[in-house]
């Protein structure tokens, strides 16, 4: 049988018998050792140095009523017993230094005595299992009894919440609600995706460490980042704003200013001070989308800002601080970029604590139907029209959408656009088979074009980022791709320019090929150096 050990703080008022006139003789620490059915083998009694005399008297009185109880006294001085930080630190240090042996001893923590702050601290230490025990609450006798009988009653509180069915059910329900919230209320059916969302929910609630969201373009990284922020805000884990940054749009000298801010006069055109996106995210969430597109200087500054929550605005000699949780998104293989020297290894290690790979839509075909219904609800909210499928049309569209011929190259962006087009064209609010057939032809044509021009698109995506590349006209995209490949193939802007303008240079009798190339790249906010460092 385990030995019973009670840990408690000496009550300088209650244990001195000065509580009130009616029950002035009830002293909880002494009564603890008189409880029926609760024999105490050892009492660990914590007291202040100023209460030495009282503690000695209590030990003596316990010896009289329960001579088999061993009492160990521990002097801990609280300068301010109502200072939460001080009380918690001292009690935690006591617990860390105590040799607990749960296999042979049963531990109870007496929360009857001590300040309310001490009681809260005991609760936290027990709930987190720093103290591997249960709580003990003593109560004075309800009715006036003989003068010699002031024992009262006791109650043991077990904080192992799994023992309480109703609480466990409530926690399970709250977790399901949080997971559903992260999925925008969509009843997804893909097992791997649902398990990932459950894990994200636990991380979001319990941790403020960086989270890296990876996956193909259109897989839902931005939407999930926003839902993570909303969940943390609802749980009161953060109080600041959600700040989203598309790193693919940060190019040249303006990138540092946009991220870290600048002071007045830091550079030509800096007419005033700029806070920067990192400072704007203070107390909130900063989402760095397409983080793989950041240049080396920005990566170094971001690493320091993440680790130390401090950084230097451009042109300033005084650091500023910003405390934010970082979410990052990328459709790149950052591990591969590290090996190629294009991404800092230390920054990747900092981001890689919690990495979640969002699957492509083609890997979640069972989730297409619930997302179809979700997109129709969104259309209703946005346009005020309730659009439905007729039975044959719905079956035909789902057969195509979940079949092998549906590429979904842009993932949920393709699906959302597809539903929007059909809802817009639906006669009398009903999507018919004819509307579905036209949409299937449209999607197949769209995906064929993507295959034909895939090689061109990839090099533009590498340099400009997926979102910017998707907004280019095909004419500009083909021309820009040729220029970018030439820049990659030559060591200098001059040699790349000579290759690009070999014939027009003769007609214009101009030899400033580097300047012509620079002006062309500037139309896309690019410099030759930006292209080469890719």
Q: How far apart are CA 291 and CA 330, in angstroms?
A: 6
Q: Could you tell me the CA-to-CA distances from 357 to 193, 200, 224, 328, 336 in Å, in that order?
A: 9, 11, 12, 12, 15
The neighbouring-strand residues paired with 431 are 389
Cα 210 from Cα 312, distance rounded (Å): 21
Mean pLDDT across 173-202: 79
Lowest mean pLDDT segment, chosen from 109-113, 282-286, 315-319, 371-375: 315-319
Task: Find the range with the poorest average confidence among 171-180, 278-287, 368-377.
Answer: 171-180
H-run or E-run covering 497 = helix 493-500
Rounded CA separation 11/239 (Å): 39
Residue 24 has pLDDT above 70, yes or no: no
User: What is the rounded average pLDDT of the residues 232-252?
Assistant: 85
Provide mean pLDDT across the span 382-392.
93
Per-residue pLDDT averaged across 414-429, rounded? 94
Question: 533 vs 206, which has greater pLDDT?
Answer: 206
Cα of first residue to Cα of last residue in the chain, in angstroms, is 69
Under the banding of pLDDT at 50, 70 and 90, the label for residue 296 is confident
For the entire predicted model, the pTM comes to 0.60
Q: Is the pLDDT of residue 163 over 70?
A: no
pLDDT classification of 289: cutoffs 50, 70, 90: very high
| pLDDT recorded at residue 397 | 96
Confidence check: pLDDT of 253 > 70: no
d(CA 532, CA 145): 90
Average the pLDDT over 68-82 and give the result. 92
> Which pLDDT does position 23 carry in this prediction?
43
**Phi then psi for 260, rounded to 5 degrees?**
-110, -5
Pairwise CA distance, residues 367 & 372, whole Å: 9
Q: What angle do CA 299, 303, 309 make, to 5 degrees?
A: 135
Name the band, by pLDDT with cuts 50, 70 and 90, for residue 188: confident
Helix (H, G, I), strand (E, B) or coil at 122: helix
Average pLDDT value over all residues in the chain: 85
pLDDT above 70: residue 507: no
Domains of the chain and CATH, by start: 3-159 (3.40.50.10770), 168-357 (3.40.50.300), 364-452 (1.10.8), 455-532 (no CATH)
Residue 532 confidence (pLDDT):
72
User: What's the pLDDT at 268?
Assistant: 67
Instruction: Check if the beta carbon of residue 133 is closer than 8 Å to that of residue 106.
Output: yes
Query: Does the pLDDT of residue 256 top 90, yes or no?
Result: no
Average pLDDT over residues 495-499: 83
Q: Two tokens at 197?
A: 């969302």
Residue 35 or 459, more confident:
35
DSSP symbols for 390-415: -HHHHHHHHHHHTSTT---TTTHHHH
- The more confidently predicted of residues 172 and 485 is 485
pLDDT interval class at 105 (50, 70, 90): very high
Q: Which pLDDT does position 177 carry in this prediction? A: 66
Query: How many of the other CB atoms lie within 10 Å of CB of 494?
Result: 16
Q: How far is CA 282 from the centre of its chain?
A: 15
Token digits for 172?
């399970």
Q: pLDDT tens across 50-59, in order? A: 888 999 999 9
> CA neighbours within 13 Å on the CB side: how many for 491?
0
One DSSP character per residue, 338-366 reads HHTTSS-HHHHHHHTTEEEEPPPGGG-GG
pLDDT of 31 higher than 50: yes
Q: What is the pLDDT of residue 113?
A: 92
Chain center to CA of 34: 50
């Amino acid at each position: 049988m385990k030995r019973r050990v009670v840990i408690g703080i000496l009550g300088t008022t209650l244990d001195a018998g000065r509580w009130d006139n009616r029950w002035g003789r009830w002293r909880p620490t002494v009564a603890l050792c008189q409880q029926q059915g609760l024999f105490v083998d050892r009492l660990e009694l914590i007291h202040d140095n100023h209460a030495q005399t009282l503690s000695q008297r209590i030990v003596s009185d316990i010896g009289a009523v329960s001579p088999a109880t061993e009492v160990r006294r521990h002097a801990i001085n609280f300068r301010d017993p109502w200072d939460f930080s001080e009380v918690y630190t001292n009690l935690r240090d006591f617990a860390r230094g105590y040799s607990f042996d749960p296999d042979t001893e049963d531990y109870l923590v007496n929360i009857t005595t001590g300040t309310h702050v001490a009681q809260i601290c005991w609760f936290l230490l027990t709930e987190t299992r720093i103290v591997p025990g249960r709580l003990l609450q003593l109560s004075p006798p309800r009715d006036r009894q003989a003068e010699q009988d002031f024992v009262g009653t006791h109650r043991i509180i077990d904080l192992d919440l799994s023992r309480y069915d109703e609480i466990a059910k409530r926690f399970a329900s709250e977790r399901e609600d949080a997971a559903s919230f992260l999925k925008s209320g969509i009843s997804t059916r893909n097992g791997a995706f649902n398990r990932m969302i459950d894990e994200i929910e636990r991380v979001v609630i319990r941790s403020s460490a960086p989270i890296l969201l990876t996956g193909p373009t259109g897989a839902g990284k931005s939407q999930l980042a926003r839902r993570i922020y909303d969940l943390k805000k609802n749980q009161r884990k953060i109080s600041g704003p959600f700040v989203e940054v598309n790193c693919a749009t940060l190019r040249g000298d303006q990138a540092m200013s946009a991220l870290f801010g600048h002071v007045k006069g830091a550079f030509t055109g800096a007419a005033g001070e700029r806070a920067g996106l990192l400072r704007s995210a203070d107390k909130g969430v900063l989402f760095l989308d397409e983080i793989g597109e950041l240049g080396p200087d920005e990566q170094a500054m971001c690493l320091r800002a993440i680790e130390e929550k401090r950084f230097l605005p451009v042109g300033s000699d005084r650091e500023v601080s910003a405390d934010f949780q970082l979410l990052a998104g990328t459709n790149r293989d950052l591990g591969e970029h590290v090996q190629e020297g294009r991404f800092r290894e230390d920054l990747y290690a900092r981001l890689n604590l919690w990495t979640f790979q969002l699957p492509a839509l083609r890997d979640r075909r069972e989730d297409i139907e619930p997302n179809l219904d979700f997109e129709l609800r969104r259309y209703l909210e946005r346009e005020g029209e309730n659009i439905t499928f007729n039975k044959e049309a719905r079956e035909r569209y789902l057969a195509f959408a979940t079949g092998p011929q549906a590429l979904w190259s842009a993932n949920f962006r393709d699906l959302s656009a597809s539903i929007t087009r059909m809802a817009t064209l639906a006669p009398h609010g009903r999507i018919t088979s004819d509307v579905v057939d036209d949409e299937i032809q449209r999607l197949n044509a769209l995906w064929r074009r993507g295959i034909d021009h895939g090689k061109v698109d990839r090099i533009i995506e590498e340099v400009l980022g997926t979102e910017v590349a998707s907004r280019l006209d095909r004419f500009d995209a083909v021309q820009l791709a040729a220029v970018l490949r030439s820049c990659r193939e030559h060591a200098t802007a001059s040699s790349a320019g000579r290759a690009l303008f070999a014939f027009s240079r003769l007609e214009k009798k101009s030899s400033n090929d580097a300047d012509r190339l620079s002006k062309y790249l500037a139309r896309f906010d690019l410099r030759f150096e930006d292209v080469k460092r890719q």
